[in-house]
Chain A
Amino acid sequence: MLSESEAKALCQTVLGAVTAQDAEVSVRSRDYANLRFAGNDFLTNGQTSDRWVTVTVWVDRRKAAVTTHETDEASLKAAVARAEDTARVSPVDQEYVPTLGPQDYRPGKSYVAATAEIDVEKRAKTIDGVIGQYEKAEVIGAGFHQAIAESSAIATLNGNFHYERWTLASLSNTARTPDGGSSGFFLRNHNDIRKLDTGRIASKAVEKALTSRNPHTMEAGRYTVILEPQATADLFGSLIYYFDARSAEEGRSAFSKPGSGTRLGEQMFDERVNLYSDPWHPELPGSVRTDEGLPAEKVYLVRNGMLETLVYSRYWAMQRDAEPTPGPVNEILESSGETASVEEMIRSTERGLLLGRFWYIRQVDPRDLTFTGLTRDGVWYIEDGEIRYPVRNFRFNQSVVESLSPDHLLMIGPSERVGNSESQGRSSVLVPALKIANFNFTSQSEAI
C-alpha cells in the first residue's frame, strides 16, 4: 500500500506534467486478502496488491479523465498527455467548478494496523474453527473472510492535498441443512480485525439454519414485521444516497414537494428517527472528506423525524447560493427515543414475521422509494409474543419512506454496525432492528 509520502510524490509527478488550466488527481492503493470456504472446506483465496491513478483535466473548461494502473513516471506523463488531448476535443463541462485550494482536514480513525497485516496462518486456524462449528451442528457451511487495507490521496492544481487510509475485516457465512430444506446467514465487519467475533458470526448462521427447518407456507399480504439489523441494513442501508438537493429541487426525488420546492423542514418520518453521518463515530469511522474533496463533518439528514438537510454538491451550491454539504460519508440510523431489544419486539407482537435479511433488492419507484426484493435465510412467524415456526420466503414491494413514518414505525432497537449483504460485507452501516406495521409481501417464493 502507498504511504502518504509515496502518494504525494505521485500526485506531484502528475500535476507537474499538466499544462491544462485546472486538474485534479486521485491516487489509490489497495492490499486485499480474502479466503473463501464452502461445503465445509477451504475453497479459493487471494492476496492482491494494486494501485491506480486517475487524472482529470480541464482544458478551456473541457473535461476528460484517464485512469492508469502503471505509476512509473513515463506512464503517468503519458496519462496526463492523453487526458489533455481528449479534453481538447470534448464538450465544455457546463458544471465545472474550480478545483479546491488547500483545505484543513481533521484526522480520521479508520485504519487499524492489525487488519492491514493479515496473518494467513491465524486466518486458516480461525476458519478451521468456523468449519468445526458447522460440522458439530451437522450443517453445511459456506462463507467469505476479507481483510482490506486501502489508501486514497487527492491533489489539485489549486494546491489541495489530502491522504487517508482505512482498513476493513469482514466475515459472512451461510449454513444449510444437508437436505437443502433450510438456510441461515450472518455477516459482520469492522475496521479492526481483532473485533471480528468469528465464533459468534458462525454460530448465528448455524442457529438460523437449524431454526428454519420444515418451514410453513403462508399467504402473501401485509404483515407486521420485525427486521433484524441485517435486514434493516439490506433495505435501508443506502438511504443516505437519496437526499440530493438538486434532484429534490428538480421535482424528481422522494423529497420533492408536489407543485414546487422540497420537503425540507417537514416532519416526514416518525419523531424517533434520526439519520446522520459521522466520520468519527467509534463504531463506524468514515472518510474525513466528501467525494468532492471537502472536509467532512457530522451531518444530520433527518433529526427527530424532520428532514433537516438536503445534500448540495459544490456545483449545485454555487447555482443556489448555498453552502456545499460536508457529507454524508457514512450512514447511521438511530432512535432518539427509548429502544427495545429484538426479544422485546417479539414479546410485544400479536401476529407478525421476524426477518433475518433481504436479497436482490431493486428500486421500483423513486417517488416514494419503493423497493422490491426477496426475504432469504430466515423468516419466522410470531404469534402472541412467541416465535411459532419458520416460514417460506416472500417477495416484497415496500416504500422505505412509508416504513419510517409514524403510522408504520412501531419500535426501534439500539443501533449496531452491520455490513450490507449484497456488497459482500465491503460496506457498513450502523442501524437498529425495526418493528414495522403493514409491510407488503406481494408473492411467495419457494427457493431456500
Chain B
Amino acid sequence: MPSSWKWAPGAAFEPSRRTVLTSGGLAIGAAALPAWVLEAEAEDASAVDRDALADVALSTARDLGADYADIRITRKREEGIYTREERVQWVERSQTFGFGVRVLVAGAWGFAAGNSVTQGAVRQAVATAVKTAAANAKYIRSAVQLLPAKGVQDMWKSNFTQDPFDVSMDKKIEHLMAINKTAMGVRGVSFVNSSMTWVNEQRFLATTDGSRIDQYLIRGYPSFQATAVDRQKGDFQSRSSLTGPQAMGFEYMQTHDWLGEAERAGEEAVAKLKARPVDPGSYDLVIDPTNLWLTIHESVGHSTELDRALWWEANYAGTSFLTPKETGELRFGSEMVNFIADRTQPTGLATVGYDDEGVPGQSWYLVKDGIFVDWQTTRDLAPLIGRDTSYGCLNAESWEYVAFPRMPNVSLQPGKEDISQDDLVADVKNGILIFGNGSWSIDQQRYNFQFGGQLFYEIRDGKVGNMLRDVTYQSRTTDFWRSCDGLGGEATYHLGGAFNDGKGEPTQVSTVSHGCPVSRFRGVTVLNSAA
C-alpha cells in the first residue's frame, strides 16, 4: 500500500520533502471485507507528490512576475446518514479533491483552480491566475498591501481521538437506531429523525513565504428531533437535540449522553403540546448557551467582520452597523461582557493550526469590558486599519474557491465567580428561561434581530415554573448586550456552533463555534410567534 495521509492519534509525524498523498480514494481493497467497509486506498491509486506540485506552482508564479503566490491542495470527504424511527432513509458519501493557486501581481489578485492535480494543470492554472491579475492590475485604484508572514513548516491535526472515517457504517447506524428507539419509547412521541454528518478536510498549503503546512481536520454533527402529534387538536410539537456540531471525532457519541437526552427530548416534545402560549411583553431572560450561541453568531460574529464593515459584502450578505471609527469607542455591551475571537479552542469548528495564508491560529479580544475594541482580519485586511499583523481569518471552503475572510470562533467569556443557572434565576421576578434554537432573523446590518428557541420555562419570583410555548425575543444588538447583568461561571460554559455559514461571491460555506456561559438579560421584548 502506498503511504497514505493518515494521522495516528498522538503520533509524532516527521514531514519529509517528498510526502505522498494518494488521490484515488474510492476503491475497495483486494482482500475480502465486510459490506460496510470504509475507504481503503486502492493499491494502484494515482499518487500525488504535493511538494513537487508546490515547487512547480510557486516557481512558475515567481517566473511570471508574481510578488506572492500560494497553492492549496485539498481533499474533503463527507458522509451523511439519515434515519427515521426504524429505517435508514439514505446514506450519502462524497469526496472532492483538487488544487487552487492564488497570485498577487502588480497589486492585484488572481486565482485559478482545477480538479486535475498534475504538474501540467498546475502550471496552466498559475498562468491563468497571473493573466487575470495582470489584466485587473491595469485598472485597480489601489494595490493590495499584503502583510508578510513567517514561513512555517508544520503539520497539525484537529482535536479528535476516534477518526469517524475509520468507524464502520453498522456501528454508526446502531447509535442512531438506539436514539430513535429511546425517543419512540416515550409515550406520546409520534416520530423521530436522527442523523450524523462527518467531515474530513485534508489541507496542504505552500506559500512563497516558505510555508509548507499539512492539516487534517475532523468535525461531526450528530443530531435528532422528536415529534409529538396531537391529532385531536391538529397540533404538533418537536424538540431537537441541543448540543450542536463540534470539531470532534466519533468519540462525540460517547462524551455526550445521547440516549438520556433522547428520552428527555421525547418527554419535552409531549410536554410542549400542553405548554401555555406566552403573553407578549417585556421580560428578563436567562438564556442557556444552547440558544445564546446563535445570537452571538449573528449579532457579534457577523458585525465584527472587518470586510463587511468596509462594504466588501454589500452586494450580498450586507454590511455592519460597526465601522472602523467605532473601534475602541463604542459601548457594545455592559461592563461584564467580553467577547474573544479564537481559532484555538480544541473543539471549535473554526479552529486550525494555520489559516489559508499560513498565519497561526490565535485568540484576541473583540469586545473588552463591554467596549468594542477589535476586528477579524487577514493579511490584506489588517493594513487597512493600520495593523501590522493578521489575526489569521483567511479561509476557503474547498480547493475550488478563493480563500477570503471568514469568522473565527467568537465566544462570550464566563464570569469569574462560580455562578450557576439557579443563581441567575434567583434574582428574576418575571422572566423566561430559554434553551436550544428555533427560528432566527436579523437584518443586513446586524442591528435588529428576532430569535426563537426549543424550550421555554417561565420564571416567577426566583423560581423556574411551567413550560411556555411560541416565545421569540426581539432586540437591537447593542441594547441587548448592554442589558446583560449576569454571567454563569466556567462550569456553565458550552460551545455551540454552525455547520453552514454562508458568505461571499460565489457563496462559500464555513463552520464556526460560539461558546458562552448561561447569561441573564433584563427587559427584553418577547413576542408570541404564533399570534
Taking Cβ atoms with an 8 Å cutoff, the residues of A that contact B are 32, 34-36, 38-52, 64-70, 72, 74-75, 77-79, 81-82, 85-86, 88-91, 120-121, 123-125, 127-128, 131, 140, 142-144, 146, 172-174, 176, 180, 183, 185, 359-360, 362, 372, 374, 376, 393, 424, 445-448
Contacts and interface: CB of A to CB of B under 8 A. Distances in A.
Contacts of A42: 108-109, 136, 139-140
B319 A78 contact: no
Contacts of B140: 41-42
Contacts of B97: 69-70
Given A38-B314, A38-B315, A180-B319, 16 more contacts: A38-B311, A39-B312, A45-B132, A48-B114, A50-B113, A50-B114, A74-B24, A79-B26, A85-B35, A90-B90, A142-B314, A142-B315, A143-B315, A185-B315, A374-B444, A445-B443
B112 interface: yes
A82 B402 contact: no
Given A85-B37, A120-B132, A447-B445, A142 B312 contact: yes
Given A69-B96, A90-B91, A131 B311 contact: no
B510 to A, nearest CB: 15
A442 to B, nearest CB: 11
Given A74-B44, A142-B315, A447 B94 contact: no
A225 B47 CA distance: 61
Contacts of A393: 443
Contact of A47 (B95, B112, B310, B404): B112
Contacts of A174: 314-315
B207 to A, nearest CB: 17
B88 interface: yes
B28 interface: yes
A89 B169 CA distance: 10
Contacts, number: 195
Nearest to A144: B505
A236 B505 CA distance: 23
A39 B109 contact: no
21 contacts: A38-B314, A46-B112, A46-B400, A47-B112, A47-B129, A48-B400, A50-B113, A66-B93, A66-B94, A67-B95, A68-B26, A69-B98, A78-B24, A86-B91, A123-B135, A131-B139, A142-B313, A180-B319, A183-B314, A374-B444, A445-B448
Given A66-B26, A82-B26, A424-B505, A46 B401 contact: yes
Interface of B: 23-28, 35-37, 42, 44-46, 87-88, 90-98, 100, 108-116, 125, 128-129, 131-132, 135-136, 138-142, 169, 310-316, 318-319, 323, 400-402, 404, 441, 443-445, 447-448, 505-507
Contacts of B400: 46, 48, 50
Nearest to A424: B505
Nearest to A143: B315
Contact of B448 (A89, A127, A359, A446): A446
Contacts of A125: 139
A91 B88 contact: yes
10 smallest CB-CB distances across A and B, nearest first, come from: A447-B443, A78-B27, A128-B139, A447-B445, A78-B26, A144-B505, A124-B135, A38-B312, A142-B315, A142-B314
Contact of B445 (A41, A68, A448): A448
A173 B135 contact: no
A376 B316 CA distance: 11
B446 to A, nearest CB: 8
B45 A144 contact: no
B91 A64 contact: yes
B114 A49 contact: yes
Contacts of B94: 66-68
B443 A40 contact: no
A124 B44 CA distance: 44
B325 to A, nearest CB: 12
Contacts of A91: 87-88
B173 to A, nearest CB: 9
Contacts of A121: 135
Contacts of B402: 44-46
A445 B507 CA distance: 25
A263 B482 CA distance: 53
Nearest to A445: B443
Nearest to A172: B315
A75 B26 contact: yes
A120 B132 CA distance: 6
Contacts of B88: 90-91
A114 to B, nearest CB: 18
Nearest to A119: B135
B311 A140 contact: yes
B116 to A, nearest CB: 8
Contacts of A448: 445
A393 B96 CA distance: 41
B26 A47 contact: no
A51 B115 contact: yes
Contact of B141 (A40, A45, A46, A172): A40
Nearest to A88: B35
A424 B315 CA distance: 9
A433 B100 CA distance: 42
Contacts of B95: 67-69
Nearest to B474: A443
Nearest to A122: B135
A41 B137 CA distance: 11
Contacts of A374: 443-444
A47 B111 contact: yes
B129 A70 contact: no
Contact of A75 (B25, B98, B136, B443): B25
A448 B321 CA distance: 10
Contacts of A376: 444
A137 to B, nearest CB: 15
A143 B311 CA distance: 11
Among A89, A127, A376, chain B packs the most CB atoms within 10 A around the CB of A89
A34 B112 CA distance: 10
Contacts of A183: 314
A120 B135 contact: yes
A69 B92 CA distance: 15
B303 to A, nearest CB: 12
Contacts of A49: 113-116
Contacts of B313: 38, 142
Contacts of B444: 359-360, 374, 376, 447
Contacts of A65: 92
A41 B315 contact: no
Nearest to B446: A447
B42 A47 contact: no
A40 B97 CA distance: 35
B36 A47 contact: no
Contact of A48 (B45, B92, B113, B311): B113
B425 to A, nearest CB: 31
* Residue among B91, B96, B129, B135 with the highest chain A CB neighbour number at 10 A: B135
Given A50-B400, A66-B26, A74 B42 contact: yes
Contacts of A38: 310-315
Contact of A447 (B96, B310, B448): B448
A46 B319 contact: no
Contacts of B131: 120
Given A74-B45, A143-B315, A447-B443, A45 B110 contact: yes
Contacts of A82: 26-28, 93
A223 B311 CA distance: 32
A89 to B, nearest CB: 5
A70 B23 contact: yes
A208 B36 CA distance: 58
Contact of A72 (B46, B92, B441): B46
Contacts of A48: 100, 112-114, 400-401
A7 to B, nearest CB: 15
A47 B311 CA distance: 24
B382 to A, nearest CB: 16
Nearest to A178: B311
Contact of B311 (A51, A67, A176): A176
